[in-house]
Amino acid sequence: MEYFKQLDVKTEVSFFWLRRDLRIDDNAGLHHALKEDKTIILVFIFDPNITDELPANDARITFIYERLLDLNQQLKEFQSALLILQGDPLEVWKLLSETYKIKKVYCNKDYEPYALKRDQQIKHLLIDKGIELTCFQDHLIFEPGEILSQNNEPYTVYTPFKNKWLSNLNSIDFKPYSNPQLSNFHKFNAELPSLKSLGFSTSLIKVKDYKLMNINNYHSKRDYPALNATTNLGPHLRFGTIGIRKLISETKNQSPTFLNELIWREFFIHILVHFPNVVSDNFRRKYDNIQWRNNEQEFEAWCNGKTGYPLVDAGMRELNTTGYMHNRVRMITAGFLCKHLLIDWRWGEAYFAKKLLDYELASNNGNWQWAAGTGCDAAPYFRIFNPITQQQKFDKNFDYIKRWVPEFGTPDYPPEIVEHKFARERALSMYKKAIL
């Protein structure tokens, strides 16, 4: 790692390890690090355990890289720089701890199973070398374990979770962290590695800026995909380009419906931490006997937006082209895959994970299991969205459909892959049989 050489190795330094918190303001861990320490170096590690699964031009990698360039620019004002490294984080920290005199390492907590295991291993590695790794709570308002039922058990239903969350909320919980002591960054000069030298290339798909002004009409407009009336906050919350406290303090009194959605996000993260087996298993094991049909041609048609159901196809084509899909349409496409085609929710979940710019394990898994009827607080299995009546309700003038399926209504558009009534009956009988 050539880049190491640019740092003065004789001085004792501390590191702040950026992961899903790519910002300087309202960053819990960074705030504390800069308060306690006067020699902080910001470091980001491209981890092949994650990036090897992605194409070189993955839009999320481009977004991360562009955010890192921004951060580096901000650091320059304080004669500091960002350290960008690449490799298995355990190996990287081993090397860092052998190369530098490290006082302390700071970061924010990440609750995904891979991250929890990684951080545990790194904590042990650093402890063996006499270095403390301190992780702060930043990504959520309340951590898993802080919102429990009267019996001290995790909630598995959203509404009581939400009620407890709201009753526990004090203004201090969403007070953004004040501007940190930026002059406490370690002073050094360095060039960042190029995206190409890291083995990636620039994506043409871009993460959109978020739109907080949409919160004013969120309640009445958010269900209509043609209106672009949601906030586009997904990727920003995922990669931490906005702090959750700052977001809530700016929006709290504008829309209870919007706040509810942010609570859904926390709910699913709590579920993932308390029930990590949901990653591969049905939350409700009584659905383990569903005989998924898993027809590969039908899956292919679904992925490519060629099912003959225009709202489903519009959603899949929007996803494939932009990395976004409207929430209502996510519910319809996911329900269609699981119920109409009887394809295992894990197939759809994996496809969304590959494509969504806001892909977040907890939310994706929670929502897919919700759509399949196998999850905590899921839609009951007999609630089967009719994609035609959904279109009549939420895209009645076909505005969204025309945007993504221009050949709809012409002979080039494929016939319905399966008849709705038939598929509905088939799903009902399959689910019923599974839970007998």
Ligand X SMILES: Cc1cc2nc3c(=O)[nH]c(=O)nc-3n(C[C@H](O)[C@H](O)[C@H](O)COP(=O)(O)OP(=O)(O)OC[C@H]3O[C@@H](n4cnc5c(N)ncnc54)[C@H](O)[C@@H]3O)c2cc1C
Q: Which residues bind ligand X (CB under 6 A)?
A: 222, 230-234, 237, 261-262, 264-265, 268, 327, 330-331, 334, 352, 356, 358-360, 363-364, 367-368, 371
Catalytic residue among 165, 264, 370, 404: 264
CB of 243 to ligand X, least distance (A): 13
* Residue number with CB closer to ligand X (180 or 315): 315
Q: Is 345 a catalytic residue?
A: yes
- 329 close to 320: Cβ distance less than 8 angstroms: no
CB of 367 to ligand X, least distance (A): 3
- 3-state SS track over the chain: CHHHHHCCCCCEEEEEEECCCCCCCCCHHHHHHHHHCCCEEEEEEECHHHHCCCCCCCHHHHHHHHHHHHHHHHHHCCCCCEEEEECCHHHHHHHHHHHCEEEEEEEECCCCHHHHHHHHHHHHHHHHCCCEEEEECCCCCCCCCCCECCCCCECCCHHHHHHHHHHHCCHHHHCCCCCCCHHHECCCCCCCCCCCCCCCCCCCCCCCCCCHHHHCCHHHHCCCHHHCCCCCCHHHHHHCCCCHHHHHHHHCCCCHHHHHHHHHHHHHHHHHHHCHHHHCCCCCHHHCCCCCCCCHHHHHHHHCCCCCCHHHHHHHHHHHHHCCCCHHHHHHHHHHHHHHCCCCHHHHHHHHHHHCCCCCHHHHHHHHHHHHCCCCCCCCCCCCCCHHHHHHHHCCCCHHHHHHCCCCCCCCCCCCCCCHHHHHHHHHHHHHHHHC
Other CB atoms within 10 A of residue 86 CB: 18
Considering only CA atoms, which of 132, 134, 151, 376 is closest in space to residue 273? Answer: 376
Q: Is 264 a catalytic residue?
A: yes
Q: Is 292 a catalytic residue?
A: yes
Catalytic residue among 66, 232, 260, 292: 292
* Residue number with CB closer to ligand X (159 or 189): 159
Strand partners, 83: 43
CB of 277 to ligand X, least distance (A): 19
CB of 360 to ligand X, least distance (A): 4
Catalytic residue among 17, 165, 345, 370: 345
* Residue number with CB closer to ligand X (7 or 343): 343
* Residue number with CB closer to ligand X (192 or 316): 316
CA distance readout (Å), 14 to 107, 139, 250, 379, 384: 11, 22, 32, 48, 54
Q: Is 151 a catalytic residue?
A: no
Catalytic residue among 261, 295, 320, 386: 261
Q: Is 17 a catalytic residue?
A: no
Q: Is 261 a catalytic residue?
A: yes
* Residue number with CB closer to ligand X (58 or 360): 360
CB of 109 to ligand X, least distance (A): 17
CB of 267 to ligand X, least distance (A): 8
* Residue number with CB closer to ligand X (270 or 330): 330
Cα atoms in the Cβ-side hemisphere of radius 13 Å centred on 361: 19
CB of 232 to ligand X, least distance (A): 5
* Residue number with CB closer to ligand X (233 or 311): 233
* Residue number with CB closer to ligand X (33 or 271): 271
Backbone torsion region of residue 323, taken as left when φ is above 0, otherwise alpha when ψ lies between -120 and 50, otherwise beta: left
CB of 302 to ligand X, least distance (A): 13
- Give me the active site residues, please: 261, 264, 292, 327, 345, 368
